[in-house]
């Protein structure tokens, strides 16, 4: 049994080539639903996809548009480097919201691919580009926070370095997504000739090459952001703890005030780190568990209920809903809070560079 390759961007078209349950071996040139397998007709799994993606799209659109509008207002007055990165993160998540999610909803509604070869290749690229960009911008934010704390004497380079990291994130996302437009194509079903699907069947010369591409995609989209996030924020917590220990030995009002700020910074960073890691793992792990299962043993993976499969694959897109909540809550603060922190920061240069 031949299977379409699991797309490392989102829910795959679970179409079997040739499809199990298609009882016409001579070729059926006319639409006849009685000859189609359960996966090739509109079913309860497609209903789950449409409903869930619609809910995710509304939540993500509201959250990311709100964050983006707040950032744009702040940047007109006193935009910061972190605001710029959060703006690009919101843009990346909006690409997922308004490109990938509507595509998945429409695709679930039509079941087969009805938009032709060019759009198959273009949309295969676009449906993964936003996800790559979102992950890479998360890396930029983590590295920026890491450098701000551990290399405070090089703050004059941070703005230029921040712009460079954002540019690299966009370029890297483009090149990581580009193979999708080559491996995805429109394929006719070998038995039901009127049924077409946008799949990766016959795109790879060997199973080893196919698995290599899939695992490389998982490395770039899941493991790389997760490892960088864990390393950067763990290092920040250790550094803040070290500075707070040093402040204990100091004397005077300034040191007491600095110690209090360091304690708040450590607590805030720890909370943010835990939430960021949990959100990333919860959103992406179910997707890759199901994907790896397909890659290793597609036959047994296909025995899982279609509704369960589709929900697990949709977890990845939930990250676009979580980002504005997590990063917006911790990094977009009220004007009153910013004024208060600015007053505190005047007491010490060290206090200013520790602020996250």
Q: Looking at residue 345, what is its pLDDT?
A: 42
Collapse the DSSP code of 187 into the 3-class scheme (helix H, G, I; strand E, B; otherwise coil) and give the result: strand
**Each residue's pLDDT tens digit, 128-149:** 999 899 999 999 988 988 888 7
Bigger pLDDT: 156 vs 288: 288
Domain that holds residue 327: 2-354
Percentage above 90 pLDDT, the chain? 24
Q: Looking at residue 83, what is its pLDDT?
A: 81
Q: Looking at residue 65, what is its pLDDT?
A: 92
| CATH code of residue 334 | 1.20.1070.10
Q: Looking at residue 202, what is its pLDDT?
A: 82
Nearest to 93 by CA among 123, 134, 50, 52: 134
Beta strands 16-17 and 196-199, pairing class: unpaired
Beta strands 16-17 and 2-3, pairing class: antiparallel
DSSP of 15-56: -EESPTT---SS---S--GGGS-GGGS--HHHHHHHHHHHHH
The residue-averaged pLDDT of 28-51 equals 71
Q: Looking at residue 291, what is its pLDDT?
A: 85
Element (H, E) at 197: strand 196-199
The count of structural domains within the chain is: 1
The residue-averaged pLDDT of 90-96 equals 92
Beta strands 16-17 and 185-188, pairing class: unpaired
pLDDT of 119 > 80? The answer is yes
Average of per-residue pLDDT values in the chain: 76
Task: Identify the residue whose tokens are 């090739």.
Answer: 40
The residue-averaged pLDDT of 243-262 equals 55
The residue-averaged pLDDT of 54-59 equals 93
Other CB atoms within 10 Å distance of the CB of residue 47: 14
**How far is 235 from 47, CA to CA, in rounded Å?**
45
**CB 142, CB 232: distance < 8 Å:** yes
Q: Looking at residue 145, what is its pLDDT?
A: 84
Bigger pLDDT: 249 vs 167: 167
CA angle centred on 204, ends 203 and 209, rounded to 5°: 150
Bigger pLDDT: 98 vs 33: 98
Whether the bond into 18 is cis, omega within 30 of 0: yes
Which two structure tokens, joined as six digits, stand for 311? Answer: 């929900």
Bigger pLDDT: 207 vs 76: 207
Nearest to 78 by CA among 346, 351, 341: 341
**How far is 5 from 206, CA to CA, in rounded Å?**
12
Nearest to 230 by CA among 149, 142, 318, 165: 142
pLDDT of 62 > 70? The answer is yes
pLDDT of 252 > 60? The answer is no
- pTM for the structure as a whole: 0.79
Question: Looking at the DSSP assignment, which residues form a beta bridge with residue 186?
Answer: 198
**Each residue's pLDDT tens digit, 217-234:** 999 999 999 999 889 888
**How far is 212 from 227, CA to CA, in rounded Å?**
20
pLDDT of 347 > 70? The answer is no
**How far is 339 from 330, CA to CA, in rounded Å?**
16
Q: Looking at residue 54, what is its pLDDT?
A: 93
Task: Identify the residue whose tokens are 């910061």.
Answer: 80
């Amino acid at each position: 049994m031949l299977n379409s390759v699991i797309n490392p961007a989102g829910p795959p078209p679970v179409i079997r080539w040739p499809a199990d349950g298609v009882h016409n071996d001579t070729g059926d040139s006319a639409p006849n639903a009685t000859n189609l397998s359960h996966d090739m007709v509109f079913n309860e799994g497609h209903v789950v996809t449409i409903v869930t993606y619609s809910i995710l799209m509304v939540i993500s659109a509201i959250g990311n548009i709100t964050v983006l509008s707040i950032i744009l207002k702040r940047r007109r007055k006193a935009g910061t480097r972190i605001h710029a990165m959060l703006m690009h993160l919101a843009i990346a998540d909006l690409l997922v919201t308004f490109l990938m999610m509507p595509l998945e909803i429409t695709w679930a509604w039509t079941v087969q691919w009805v938009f032709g070869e060019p759009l198959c290749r273009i949309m295969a690229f676009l449906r993964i580009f936003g996800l790559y960009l979102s992950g890479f911008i998360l890396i930029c934010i983590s590295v920026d926070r890491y450098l701000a704390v551990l290399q405070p004497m090089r703050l004059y380079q941070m703005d230029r370095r921040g712009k460079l990291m954002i540019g690299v994130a966009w370029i890297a996302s483009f090149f990581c997504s580009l193979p999708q437009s080559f491996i995805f194509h429109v394929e006719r079903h070998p038995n039901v000739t009127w049924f077409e699907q946008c799949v990766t069947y016959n795109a790879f010369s060997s199973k080893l090459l196919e698995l290599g591409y899939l695992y490389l995609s998982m490395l770039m989209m899941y493991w790389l952001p997760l490892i960088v996030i864990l390393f950067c924020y763990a290092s920040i917590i250790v550094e803040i703890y070290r500075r707070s220990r040093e402040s204990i030995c100091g004397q005077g009002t300034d040191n007491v005030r600095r110690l209090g700020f360091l304690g708040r910074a450590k607590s805030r960073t720890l909370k943010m780190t835990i939430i960021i890691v949990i959100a990333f793992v919860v959103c992406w792990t179910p997707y890759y568990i199901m994907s790896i299962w397909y890659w290793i043993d597609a036959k047994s993976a296909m025995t899982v209920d279609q509704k369960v499969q589709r929900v697990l694959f949709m977890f990845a897109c939930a990250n676009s809903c979580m980002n504005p909540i997590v990063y917006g809550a911790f990094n977009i603060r009220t004007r009153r809070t910013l004024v208060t922190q600015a007053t505190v920061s005047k007491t010490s240069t060290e206090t200013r560079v520790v602020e996250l």
